[in-house]
Amino acid sequence: MNKNQNPDRSTGFLLRDNSRFMKVAFNDRVSGLTQAQWGALAQLSRHEGLNQVGLADLLEVQPITVARMIDKLVSLGVVERRPDPNDRRAQQLFLTEKAQPLLDQMWEAGDEILDEAYAGFSDEERTAFIDMLVRMRSNLARLAQGGPRSRNVFRKAS
């Protein structure tokens, strides 16, 4: 059997499954917002002043989806739109003070989940694992910037 054919040992499947389990655990611990809204708050906490198109890129969704999401977050009072000083057509997104308790709850839940996920790992193993994931992300980012190299497996053979 090819090493990529066993989903229980496939890096891609394992990363996807772990991500899915982390999302489920997160949703069980925090409430009040959708997963997408939590993601938007997390990205804005790292990139305040971003516009909706930039946020859509980070969240890998369409700009119209972000527009509706931001409308909801603005109505909740956790995000505000401000005119972009460099582009009069655009607006920048900023978190309000009301967002901080939500972010605190989010990060606390994330820390608890990771502590459980790393159960049985030594500090050295945990550090090494994170270092490897950082390297993997860097490698994949370089690959992604190299452009499309897709293989259409559904293409008819000539």
pLDDT tens across 100-141, in order? 999 999 999 999 999 999 999 999 999 999 999 999 999 998
Give the pLDDT confidence score for residue 103 in this predicted structure. Answer: 94
- Confirm whether 1 is domain-assigned: no
Q: Cα 134 vs. chain centroid, distance in angstroms?
A: 15
Mean pLDDT calculated for residue range 12-27? 92
Query: What mean pLDDT, rounded, does the chain reach?
Result: 89
Give the pLDDT confidence score for residue 144 in this predicted structure. Answer: 85
Token reading at 29: 């611990």
Give the pLDDT confidence score for residue 105 in this predicted structure. Answer: 92
CATH number at residue 65: 1.10.10.10
- Confirm whether 152 is domain-assigned: no
- Confirm whether 110 is domain-assigned: yes
Read off the pLDDT band of 3 (50, 70, 90).
Answer: low
Is the predicted pLDDT of residue 4 greater than 80, yes or no?
no
Is the predicted pLDDT of residue 95 greater than 60, yes or no?
yes
Give the pLDDT confidence score for residue 88 in this predicted structure. Answer: 87
Domains in the chain: how many in total?
Answer: 1
Other residues' Cβ atoms within 10 Å of the Cβ of residue 27: 14
- Confirm whether 151 is domain-assigned: no
What is the domain range of residue 133?
24-144
Mean pLDDT calculated for residue range 83-109? 93
104 touches 114 (CB < 8 A): no
Q: Which of 40, 58, 57, 53 has its CA nearest to residue 94?
A: 40
- Confirm whether 109 is domain-assigned: yes
Give the pLDDT confidence score for residue 150 in this predicted structure. Answer: 62
